[in-house]
């Protein structure tokens, strides 16, 4: 079963009474367990595509099926519930509540979800948060304020938060964009591991090294998908150079 099917998706903004067609008849599929990167020049519609597909922004026309649910047919409350319970989000800017510790930021979405109301459920959530933080190597910062940790640690905490409700799919918008090269590598290592465990991921990136670790790369320009490059599953860093070389050649052909 496809995780995500997008048919004839259009997104139009009206600015100063002029129509700006940001996405034009997008057709794509992301299968369960895939990791798909979206690349393209600035202003090509990459982030708009991610926001529209995940229901954070309204589509103008077309259809998005998310695990058999037509998101355009959902009410605002139903869409909000779907995002909370079945989707995870990671952004370039690491939005976290300043008055909460790192750990409390991670468990907050699960406490708000439908499965986080009883005492037993909350104990399970707490245990899951500790397990996720241990897996991502940030257990020691649990009780820190968010301004007391490094950017790489904070982004790994954001990954923990995105996974806390066992989402069917993670949407990541430039997840390594604000990180240095070492932290970027570590964050991608975690995303690849999560993907290998079965979580579907769609990520927007301008970084070829990041995109080369995905199963497929979609190239978007002027609001349309102009091409697709298929790698298959990433097996480890020994493949990095070869994958990056192939992707570089293809992106040049695409005019990137």
Q: What does the pLDDT profile of the chain (256 residues) look like in tens digits?
A: 668 999 999 999 888 888 888 999 999 999 999 999 999 999 899 999 999 999 999 999 999 999 999 998 999 999 999 999 999 999 877 788 889 999 999 999 998 886 767 888 899 999 999 999 998 889 999 999 998 998 889 988 999 999 999 999 999 999 988 888 888 888 898 899 999 999 999 999 999 999 999 999 999 999 999 999 999 999 988 999 999 999 999 999 999 8
CA 35 to chain CA mean position, Å = 10
Whole-angstrom distance, CA of residue 89 vs CA of residue 201: 10
Provide the residue ranges of all domains of the chain, joining segments of one domain with +.
Answer: 2-254
CATH T-level topology, domain 2-254: Rossmann fold (3.40.50)
Contact present, 47 and 21 (Cβ < 8 Å): no
Helix, strand and coil percent figures for the chain, each rounded to 5: 40, 30, 30
- Most distant CA pair in the chain, distance: 56
Confirm if 13 and 22 have CB atoms less than 8 A apart. Answer: yes
pTM of the model: 0.92
State the pLDDT at residue 177: 87
**Beta strands 87-91 and 169-173: pairing type?**
parallel
> What is the gyration radius of the CA atoms in the chain, in angstroms?
18
């Amino acid at each position: 079963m496809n995780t995500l099917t997008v048919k004839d998706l259009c997104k139009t903004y009206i600015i100063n009474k002029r129509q700006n067609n940001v996405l034009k008849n997008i057709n794509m599929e992301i299968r369960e367990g895939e990791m798909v990167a979206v690349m393209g020049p600035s202003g090509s519609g990459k982030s708009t595509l991610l926001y529209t597909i995940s229901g954070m922004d309204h589509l103008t026309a077309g259809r998005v099926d998310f695990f058999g649910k037509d998101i355009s047919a959902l009410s605002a409350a139903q869409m909000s519930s779907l995002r909370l319970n079945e989707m995870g989000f990671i952004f370039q800017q690491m939005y976290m509540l300043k008055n909460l510790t790192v750990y409390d930021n991670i468990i907050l979405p699960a406490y708000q979800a439908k499965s986080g109301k009883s005492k037993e459920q909350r104990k399970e959530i707490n245990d899951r948060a500790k397990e996720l933080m241990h897996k991502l190597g940030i257990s020691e910062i649990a009780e820190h304020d968010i301004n007391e940790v490094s950017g790489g640690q904070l982004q790994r905490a954001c990954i923990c938060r995105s996974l806390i409700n066992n989402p069917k799919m993670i949407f990541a918008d430039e997840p390594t964009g604000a990180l240095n090269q070492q932290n970027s590598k570590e964050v991608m290592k975690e995303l690849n591991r999560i993907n290998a465990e079965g979580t579907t991921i769609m990520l927007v990136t301008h970084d070829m090294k990041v995109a080369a670790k995905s199963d497929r790369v979609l190239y978007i320009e002027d609001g349309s998908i102009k091409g697709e490059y298929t790698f298959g599953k990433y097996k480890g860093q020994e493949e990095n150079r070869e994958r990056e070389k192939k992707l570089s050649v293809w992106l040049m052909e695409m005019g990137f």
